[in-house]
Amino acid sequence: MQGKFSILIMNPYFHPHEIQTNMRTPALLFIFLFPALIMAQIAQGGGDLDLPVPEHPCVSPELQDEIEIMLAANRAMLIDQGILPAVPDARSAIQLEWPLRQANGFDQDEWYVTVNFVDLDPSNGIKDYMCNSRSYNGHNGLDYSLWPFWWEMMDDNQVEIIAGAPGVILAQSDNQFDKNCSCKGTWNAVYIQHSDGSVAWYGHMKKNTLTTKPVGASVVTGEYLGLVGSSGCSTNPHLHLELHDDSNKIIEPYAGTCNNTTGNSWWADQKPYYESSINRLTTHGIPPVLDGFCPDEYEANLQNQFDPGDLVYYTAWYRDQQFTSLANFSVKDPTGAVVHSWNQSSPNTYAWSWWWWSYSLPPNAVEGIWTFEATYNGETRVHSFQVGEISSTEDQDLPGIHLGANPVVSDLTVQVSSPGEYTYTLYNLQGLPCLTGSLGQGSHSLPMDHLPIGAYVIRIGEEESGRQMSRQVVRAGR
């Protein structure tokens, strides 16, 4: 990581708060942001992540040789057993589907960033499929990193690696340490051979999470293969996807101007080169700290319950943030009134970046569920947080709404005795929506048995009047 410098932004109505930003981020950042400040804002900060340049590819030449020897031996064995054909069907070219998904019970808006494509420059230079340098020298695969809070997502088993195309399990390797933040050790991986003879390598998996299917078993598109981890030569939890054709040549599956490995995209639906979004919005009592990739080098400092008058830090976690791109932010109280608003024009282009702004809640803030909202690149993100204590009794604003037994083992029962149309959202304590839907008059069962055990908040709103109620709901074990 690069060094840091500190800047004080002072407001005559508040004490100054220190902010830190990466030295790669120009001081001009604050010129971009300053016009958006309003008097209630106290400080702002953040930065971008700068990956260390690896000394060698995450799959070293020595490991590459070991893997290819293993795959060749297993392929010969499976051909002898009649499981694989001696000659692949070259006419059955594969079409890859996306190789990652969130596990049941998780519904984060976005949760990954593409960090590296295949390096197509055979010399010491770097060239990706669009003739840029989103890779590093000698990198033979695609790197999809969890973002943000990668270690928490890994510990929570949030992101699954799934088969991008149907095929046969050619090999597996497991039981390797999976929390590396530097280049060491051997990875956990699954290798799938497709009907056209191409082979997909899914690497850096979390140990002891690989599919229980044996070598020689078939998998279908979208089938579970394992969980994202950080085993082997890895700085943080991510998937390394590497593709070889039937002659063992490295394939860059994205079609682009500088891709000379294939004439057509191998993706069924190729994603754009830049996937600009805000992956997540969060709130904090103190700023998040991100000094590196190791577990002890950052602190999320997440907080989702505050009291009136508290200082709140609002953070946006971007993916592929583009130079001068504009994001609009607002903080709304339970009535929908805008309490704070500001915007940000990006000072540069970043693969992954985060920025925070701090405001004090009004001393007489309306208690209940507040929202931190952002609009960026045509998409809106919403994060909910609590101001004041979570009520344990029903609001009189929605007298026709009654919740069933709480704690909940499987389904939460919601009884609507009044006519009208209602909407509901169930949030976990990280402010992420887990269930959403609509309610009419009658009895409704909201499934919670797929959610992790713990506390949640349900917010129910009446569409006609805009009135809302919020309740804490506990998902309990059997």
Distance set, CA 334 to CA 284, 337, 363 (Å): 19, 7, 15
Neighbouring C-beta atoms of residue 305, cutoff 10 Å: 15
Residue whose token pair is 């998998």: 219
Segment 308-326 shows an average pLDDT of 97
Separation of alpha carbons 360 and 363, rounded Å: 8
110 SS3 class = coil
**Phi-psi region for residue 309, left (φ > 0), alpha (ψ -120 to 50) or beta?**
left
Separation of alpha carbons 375 and 369, rounded Å: 20
pLDDT tens digits along 367-414: 888 999 999 999 999 888 989 876 544 444 577 788 877 777 788 989
Q: Is the pLDDT of residue 34 over 80?
A: no
Cβ partners under 8 Å of residue 269, min gap 6: 97
Separation of alpha carbons 280 and 288, rounded Å: 13
Residue whose token pair is 């890895």: 234
The answer to whether 367 and 303 have CB atoms below 8 angstroms apart is no
What does pTM read for this prediction? 0.77
Separation of alpha carbons 180 and 344, rounded Å: 34
pLDDT tens digits along 185-218: 899 999 999 999 999 999 999 999 999 999 999 9
Quick one: pLDDT at residue 200?
98
The answer to whether 138 and 269 have CB atoms below 8 angstroms apart is no
Quick one: pLDDT at residue 399?
76
Q: Is the pLDDT of residue 471 over 70?
A: yes
Spatial strand order in the sheet of 401-403: 401-403, 411-416, 442-447
Q: Is the pLDDT of residue 153 over 50?
A: yes
In the chain, % of residues over pLDDT 70: 88
422 SS3 class = strand
- Determine the Cα angle at 315 with ends 309 and 317, to 5°: 165
Distance set, CA 364 to CA 226, 307, 309, 336 (Å): 49, 10, 7, 16
pLDDT tens digits along 70-123: 999 999 999 999 999 999 987 788 999 999 999 887 878 899 999 999 999 999
Quick one: pLDDT at residue 287?
94
